[in-house]
Chains A and B, each alone.
Chain A
Amino acid sequence: MPLRAKVASSVSRTAAALSRAAGRGDGSVIGGWIGLKIDPDLLAHLSAGRAIALVSGTNGKTTTTRLTTAAVGVLGRVATNSFGANMPTGHTSALAKAGSTPYAVLEVDEHYLAQVLEATEPHVVALLNLSRDQLDRAKEVAMMAQLWRAALVRHPRIRVVANADDPMVVWAACPPADPAQGHVPPHVTWFSAGQRWHDDSWVCPECGSTIQRSGEQWWCTGCPLRRPEPNWTVEDDGVLDPTGAWHKIQLQLPGKVNLGNAATALAVAAEFGVRPVDAVSRLGTVTSVAGRYAQVDRDGRNIRLLLAKNPASWLEAFDMADVAPTLLSINARDPDGLDTSWLFDVDFSPLTGRQVLITGDRAYDLAVRLEVNGVPFQHVRSFDEAVRAVPPGRLEVIANYTAFQDIRAELDRVN
Chain B
Amino acid sequence: MSTESLRIVWIYPDLLSTYGDRGNALILARRAQLRGMPVEVLEVRSDQRLPATADIYLIGGGEDGPQALGAQRLIADGGLHRAVAQGSVVFGVCAGYQLLGTSFFAKGTRCAGLELLDLSSDRGPTRAVGELAGEVDPRLGIPHLSGFENHGGRTHLGPGVSPLARVTTGVGNDGATEGAWRGKLLGTYSHGPALARNPDLADLLLRWATGIHQLPPLDDTWADRLRSERRTAVAAAPRP
Query: What residues of chain A have their CB less than 8 Å away from a CB belonging to chain B?
Result: 132, 135-137, 140-142, 199, 202-203, 208, 210, 221, 338-345, 364-365, 367-369, 371-372
List chain B residues, Cβ under 8 A from A344.
20-23, 26, 193, 196
Report Cα–Cα, A141/B18, bound state, in Å: 11
A/B interface sample: 20 pairs, CB < 8 A: A136-B129, A137-B129, A142-B65, A202-B14, A203-B15, A208-B65, A208-B69, A338-B129, A339-B19, A339-B191, A344-B26, A344-B193, A345-B22, A364-B222, A364-B226, A364-B229, A368-B222, A368-B226, A369-B23, A372-B30
Residue from B45, B46, B196, B223 with most neighbouring chain A CB atoms (10 Å): B196
From known contacts A142-B63, A339-B148, A345-B20, infer whether A372 and B130 are also in contact, taking CB-CB under 8 Å. Answer: no
From known contacts A341-B192, A368-B222, A372-B196, infer whether A210 and B14 are also in contact, taking CB-CB under 8 Å. Answer: yes
Contact B65 A341 (CB under 8 A): no
Knowing that A135-B150, A137-B129 touch, tell me 13 more A-B residue pairs with CB under 8 angstroms: A142-B63, A210-B47, A339-B148, A340-B148, A340-B192, A344-B20, A345-B22, A364-B226, A367-B222, A367-B225, A368-B197, A369-B196, A372-B27
Nearest CB of B to A248, in Å: 39
Residue from A137, A338, A372 with most neighbouring chain B CB atoms (10 Å): A372
Contact A135 B65 (CB under 8 A): no
List chain B residues, Cβ under 8 A from A132.
18
> A202: nearest residue on chain B (CB-CB)?
B14
Nearest CB of A to B56, in Å: 17
Report Cα–Cα, A208/B107, bound state, in Å: 14
Q: Which of B62-92 contact A (CB under 8 A)?
A: 63-66, 69
Contact with A along B24-42 (1 / 0, CB 8 A): 0011001000000000000
From known contacts A210-B47, A343-B20, A344-B20, infer whether A368 and B196 are also in contact, taking CB-CB under 8 Å. Answer: yes
Instruction: Find B23's partner among A210, A221, A372 (CB 8 Å cutoff).
Output: A372
Report Cα–Cα, A367/B196, bound state, in Å: 11
Report Cα–Cα, A369/B196, bound state, in Å: 8
Residue from A136, A141, A221, A339 with most neighbouring chain B CB atoms (10 Å): A339
Nearest CB of A to B91, in Å: 15
Which range holds the interface residue count of chain B?
20 to 34
Report Cα–Cα, A371/B225, bound state, in Å: 13
Nearest CB of B to A180, in Å: 28
- B17 contacts A by Cβ under 8 Å: yes
Residue from A135, A199, A202, A368 with most neighbouring chain B CB atoms (10 Å): A368
Report Cα–Cα, A294/B100, bound state, in Å: 49
Nearest CB of A to B6, in Å: 16
Nearest CB of B to A359, in Å: 14
Instruction: Find B226's partner among A137, A202, A345, A367 (CB 8 Å cutoff).
Output: A367
Nearest first, the 7 A-B pairs at minimum CB distance are A344-B23, A344-B20, A341-B20, A202-B14, A364-B226, A367-B222, A341-B19
Nearest CB of A to B94, in Å: 10
Nearest CB of B to A209, in Å: 9
Residue from B15, B20, B148, B197 with most neighbouring chain A CB atoms (10 Å): B20
Contact A364 B148 (CB under 8 A): no
Nearest CB of B to A147, in Å: 15
Report Cα–Cα, A344/B197, bound state, in Å: 12
Report Cα–Cα, A364/B228, bound state, in Å: 10
List chain B residues, Cβ under 8 A from A137.
129
List chain A residues, Cβ under 8 A from B64.
140
Report Cα–Cα, A133/B15, bound state, in Å: 17
> B222: nearest residue on chain A (CB-CB)?
A367
From known contacts A135-B19, A136-B129, A372-B30, infer whether A341 and B226 are also in contact, taking CB-CB under 8 Å. Answer: no
Report Cα–Cα, A262/B17, bound state, in Å: 32
Nearest CB of B to A315, in Å: 14
> B223: nearest residue on chain A (CB-CB)?
A368
Report Cα–Cα, A201/B62, bound state, in Å: 13
Contact with A along B122-138 (1 / 0, CB 8 A): 00000001100000000
> B225: nearest residue on chain A (CB-CB)?
A364
Nearest CB of A to B231, in Å: 12
List chain B residues, Cβ under 8 A from A135.
18-19, 150
Nearest CB of A to B199, in Å: 9
List chain B residues, Cβ under 8 A from A202.
14-15, 45
